[in-house]
Structure 1
């Protein structure tokens, strides 16, 4: 049963450029412009009309956009919940300008060991993450650690939790790796069991729907779980609507300050209707789209995701901002 019939999230790619070269991501390989403040301002107005509540300013590395504080300020002015994920390289330089503008600030950290983390990211950034944690805490920003879990680093969760998260009062977000376009990966059952155990610990967030979906073999096109196109609006740095999702990206539509009308057009809605049903959707378990998919439709995944979702929103206090839409 569908509970919410409008998009709730916008993945707003402010640029595809990145100052890291992570092996489990191919976004940084793409040439890219930067979005403009005027484009963002107009699109945010239409996102609000469409029912979107959360805007994830993403990339690439979003802090490469020199006007990111202005973009965030505009989103806050229009009443959105904001989130960014950063590798931390540029955060110390921009921390003061970003202060108070990010509701969910995530620092990517994939190992408590500096050399291992830096090797996976293709650039020395571990020390910058640690500097960013201290600086953000000093500014009252309450960041999270986003730990992308692979088979090779799952044994490091305890060290991450005990050595970095708990001493700094941080929430540890366990982000199971996913596979797309020949990058990323999958996790065996033993790893899924370990994740489930850790998800029950204080100040640890793991969406149990992710684990269940992987055990079920991902999305199946004959009975799709994915609601990517109807829950999540994806905007590219070229100011285009990307459908049915970023990772599949079958078709793009120029927005031209007409996002509301464009999204409701017949051409777009025909693609929306194919969400989760296209051949490439078989077996998909991409977290970016499954989390909002679980939230809008009553199913076993909704029930699996509910406890962890309530837990995280209670820890971060974001439930208060969602109340007007309930």
Structure 2
């Protein structure tokens, strides 16, 4: 985890504010998963994915375009056998590397990931984990412990707050501290493609309990617990009211498994393809991306919110958000 770095901030500022280019390449590295979570639509869409040489070419173009961060995620990156080669290539051309995983294969594969800078593991509960994810929490803990010994930066535990895990949140924060990890929170986003019965079961329905839970997250953040979210963002989460100007599609270039360039990871509208070249696609879609951002009702996905607030130089966020 990286706290505020003047050098990194200057490079990000130059890339985004002056050159008007993205700082992060977020790549949905494959289309397969080893979990079948009811609230996720990605594993239901298994399809074509980019070949290794295509990914190398994309990374080279991204770096030439000034992008400094490569984030591999969804559906489950560790199922991709050539993942170490991809991370190695990104690292060799001067990019920071990050990975988001469900953790099931961490114990088996972490030794291969020597070129990984940042690791985020999705952990949505303790007693509620099996109910949410369909497997026992004990299945991922050995991999997390082993990964802590391999990855030089602190690991991030990412938790999506739902109606299922409100009773687990405080204990989860304590667990993160005891394991010397960081933790982040965001509310469950009820996107299309998932049945109403799933949202009825998992969605946030007890507003009073939800707000008191987020209040406790805010308190524990102030008490020094390892919560990476800013207080500004957590207040939005409590109120469930996005109050920011979204710069998500200016900061992050999202690429799907098949090479499609998507406007953002929430709405997922394809606006191009990496086959046309990253620089060409970025310039061609500039007006379209701005229009989509202006018309968007906004989400509370913490990666977009926190980084958009930093983009707008919100002081509290610069002071208290730790970028992953």
Q: What TM-score, normalized to structure 2?
A: 0.81
Q: CA deviation at 1:297?
A: 1.8
Q: CA deviation at 1:261?
A: 1.7
State yes or no: 1:132 paired with 2:143: yes
Q: C-alpha separation between the residues in 2 aligned to 1:179 and 1:110?
A: 16
Match of 1:229 among 238, 249, 255: 249
Q: C-alpha separation between the residues in 2 aligned to 1:262 and 1:197?
A: 44
State yes or no: 1:109 paired with 2:109: no
Q: C-alpha separation between the residues in 1 aligned to 2:232 and 2:55?
A: 32
Deviations 1:209-262 (A, max 9, x none): 32243437226xxxx6111221110111111211x2132133332221611122
Deviations 1:35-66 (A, max 9, x none): 32212211112222333222210111111111
Q: C-alpha separation between the residues in 1 aligned to 2:118 and 2:266?
A: 23
State yes or no: 1:39 paired with 2:54: yes
List alignment gaps of at least 5 residues for structure 1: 319-326
1:10-159 correspondence runs (5 A): 10-98=25-113, 100-113=114-127, 116-122=128-134, 124-139=135-150, 141=152, 142-159=154-171
Match of 2:214 among 176, 188, 192: 192
Query: What is the RMSD of the two structures over their aligned residues, measured on CA atoms?
Result: 2.6
Q: C-alpha separation between the residues in 2 aligned to 1:269 and 1:109?
A: 36
Where 2:242 maps in the other structure, the secondary structure is coil
List alignment gaps of at least 5 residues for structure 2: 1-15
State how many pairs are aligned: 295
Match of 2:287 among 248, 251, 270: 270
Structure 2 partner of 1:260: 279
Structure 1 partner of 2:270: 251
Q: CA deviation at 1:127?
A: 1.8
Q: Conserved in 2, the CA contact under 8 Å of 1:179 and 1:286?
A: no
Q: C-alpha separation between the residues in 2 aligned to 1:16 and 1:199?
A: 35
Q: CA deviation at 1:305?
A: 1.9
State yes or no: 1:209 paired with 2:226: no
Larger mean Cα displacement after TM superposition, 69-78 or 197-206: 197-206
